[in-house]
Amino acid sequence: MKAVVVDRPAPIESSPLRTIETPIPEPAPGEVRVRINVCGVCRTDLHLAEGDLPPRRPRVVPGHEIVGRVDKRGEGAMRFAEGARVGIAWLRETCGKCAYCRRGRENLCPNARFTGWDHDGGYAEYAVAREQFVYPLPDSIGDEEAAPLLCAGIIGYRTIKRADIKPEMTVGLYGFGGSAHIAIQVLRHWRCRVFVMTRGGLHRELARSLGADWVGTAAEAPPAKLDAALLFAPAGELVPPVMEALDRGGILAIAGIYLSPTPPLDYEKHLFEEREIRSVTANTRADANEFLKLAGEIPIRTSTMPFHLEQAGEALRKLKHDEIMGAAVLKIG
């Protein structure tokens, strides 16, 4: 099969990805093999390609927003019929035995393994995964639109939960790419007032079209204090101004797996009056199932820019330079 691998991590402009031919994987017991139709392109893939997220194995295939159909089942795999339309996301497996797994916080499992990092992902024609970590997809959303839901959507939803957002709150979104353009649809569904801080013209247009109540830059103070804020840009320098924008008791949830260094915080200015900062680490399967059900009900509509598999490097370059409105998707099948 054809696959794209991280040959040697380096700036994306120096072409660290390579297209290769490799054997079609066989599903192990309890796994299913998925013939991939599309795979979303995530900023985590960029961090992997550039080495911010060190590869855990040589020539790994990135990609963890996989949409396709089950074409083979390993021994004992009975959850999905052959031909079933499914998605594979970032969290690939957990131990199920540690204290975190037992508490329902499997996203913190120290033995967790991840799609497109520990195991080959979706920048390929086929992928295998444990069937318990594979998701049915809502019929109301097509393949290309569904791909970003499997990371950008799920992580955006996990970030909303970490910020303890309730209907009709005032929420700030900092950065407006793949995750934020999905999160705003959940927030508007909950009748929240949403302020978007982003520097890109394309992103501003998209934010307005999706119902943002105000659009500005991170350097501008939003029109009202925020009950909660979601930081999607991997820019640690934004943390102090976000904390200043929070109302008493407000929560900042940081969505990324990577964040550049954060400047010092002043306790009285940034944290006093019970303002909080929370991080997001992957997601649980419960998060994913809850979000995908909600996405089908709303229904969520994603803005996508298609690329061929061989253009994965170009898609990541455009993502790095904020040249994609919404989310990039590789068309494979």
pLDDT in tens, 93-134: 999 999 999 999 999 999 999 999 999 999 999 999 999 999
Dig out the tokens for 228 from the structure. 């909660």
Note the pLDDT tens digit of each residue in 183-207: 999 999 999 999 999 987 888 999 9
Express as a percent the part of the chain with pLDDT over 90: 92
Q: Residue 200's pLDDT is what?
A: 76
Which amino acid is present at 216? G
Cα–Cα nearest to 67, from 159, 156, 138:
138
Q: Is 90 exceeded by the pLDDT of residue 258?
A: no
Q: Give me the residues paired with residue 41 across strands.
A: 328
- Give the pTM: 0.92
Do the first three CATH levels of 2-150+282-331 and 154-279 match, i.e. the same topology?
Answer: no
Given this model, what pLDDT does residue 201 score? 81
Kind of pairing between the strands at 193-197 and 214-216? parallel
| Cβ count within 10 A of residue 322 | 17
List b or e across 100-113, with b for residues whose CB sees 16 or more CB atoms inside 10 angstroms: bbeeeebbebeebb
Give the residue extent of every domain in the chain: 2-150+282-331, 154-279
Query: CA dihedral defined by 188, 327, 94, 109, rounded to 10 degrees?
Result: -70
What was the pLDDT predicted at 257? Answer: 83
Rounded average pLDDT over 287-300? 97
Inter-residue contact 139 to 105 (CB < 8 Å): no
Q: Residue 55: is its pLDDT beyond 90? A: no
| CA dihedral sign of residues 228, 110, 153, 18 | positive
CATH architecture designation of domain 2-150+282-331: Alpha-Beta Complex (3.90)
Average pLDDT in the chain: 96
Q: Which residues contact 240 (CB under 8 A, 6 or more apart)?
A: 262, 263, 265, 266, 270
Check residue 177 and give its pLDDT.
87
The band of 35, judged by pLDDT with boundaries at 50, 70 and 90, is very high
Confidence (pLDDT) at 199: 86
- Backbone phi, then psi, for 4, in 5-degree steps? -110, 130
pLDDT digits (tens, 9 = 90+) for 146-187: 999 999 999 999 999 999 999 999 999 999 988 999 999 999
Tens of pLDDT along 277-291?
999 999 999 999 999
Best-predicted range by mean pLDDT (49-58, 243-252, 315-324): 243-252
Q: Dig out the tokens for 138 from the structure.
A: 């809502």
Q: What is the pLDDT of residue 165?
A: 98
What's the per-residue H, E or C state across the chain? Answer: CEEEEECCCCCHHHCCEEEEECCCCCCCCCEEEEEEEEEEECHHHHHHHHCCCCCCCCCCCCCCCEEEEEEEECCCCCCCCCCCEEEECCEEECCCCCHHHHCCCHHHCCCCEEECCCECCCCECEEEEEHHHEEECCCCCCHHHHHHHHCHHHHHHHHHHHCCCCCCCEEEEECCCCCHHHHHHHHHHCCCEEEEECCCHHHHHHHHHCCCCEEECCCCCCCCCEEEEEECCCCHHHHHHHHHHEEEEEEEEECCCCCCCCCCCCHHHHHCCCCEEEECCCCCHHHHHHHHHHHHHCCCCCCEEEEEHHHHHHHHHHHHCCCCCCEEEEECC
pLDDT at residue 193, as a whole number: 98
d(CA 61, CA 42): 13
> Residue length, the chain?
333
Domain at 154-279, CATH from 3.40.50.720, 3.40.50.1370, 3.20.20.70, 3.40.640.10? 3.40.50.720
Instruction: Determine the Cα–Cα distance for residues 262 and 138; give it in Å rounded to an integer.
Output: 39
Note the pLDDT of residue 121.
98
